[in-house]
Amino acid sequence: MVTAATAGPAENNFIDSLSLTYGNAQSDTNVYRLGIQHAWDRSWFTNGNWHVTGYWNAEVGHWHSGKGGGHESDLYDLGLTPIFRLEQKSSHSGHLAPYAEAGIGLHMVSPTSIGDRNLASVFQFGNNLGVGFRFGSHGRYDLGYRFQHISNAGLSQPNQGMDIHTVNIRVDL
């Protein structure tokens, strides 16, 4: 069953939460990101103790590689991703509430290479799969793991892409 439900914070604020992300990728690359999120005012499959909801995730990031290879050691990333989240409804009750999430978004990177990796294009796609849990009063805090693959989807060559493993901390406003 698909129904619409109001998601509290999304009604009142454009920015619903702030996030910090740290991750590792190929080429001895560390990834640091700051993000803002806007929760959708919809919820689907609301029967039972779980439901599907989502949010917009906008991030700005800095990547740093300690590996040579003739490319840059620093890269900057700007991304926008719609994220669908399957979460336990008790996330707003103050209990530990697990979730799984996925999304595909657009990224702009500069420069287009880092360490020994060549991304070949400013425009990239970011595929995300994540798991985590919400906790605290009204599920205000969020701690998660996310796997992300950044690639230009073969639109430019070489398309070496990057696989990134991240830990994300998020706080609702």
Q: Tokens in use for 68?
A: 């040579």
Q: Are 149 and 16 in contact (CB under 8 A)?
A: no
- Model pTM score: 0.88
pLDDT for residue 72: 87
Mind listing the pLDDT tens digit of every residue in the chain (173 residues)? 333 333 444 456 799 999 999 999 987 999 999 999 999 999 999 898 999 999 999 999 999 998 877 678 999 999 999 999 999 987 566 688 999 999 999 999 999 999 889 999 999 999 999 999 999 988 899 999 999 999 999 999 998 999 999 999 999 99
In the chain, where the domains are located: 2-172
- Cβ neighbours of residue 5 under 8 Å, at least 6 residues apart? 41, 42, 43, 46, 51
Q: Are 34 and 19 in contact (CB under 8 A)?
A: yes
Q: Tokens in use for 131?
A: 């798991």
Neighbour-count burial for 60-83, b at 16+ CB within 10 Å, e otherwise: ebebebeeeeebbbebebebebeb
Domain 2-172 has CATH 2.40.160.20: yes
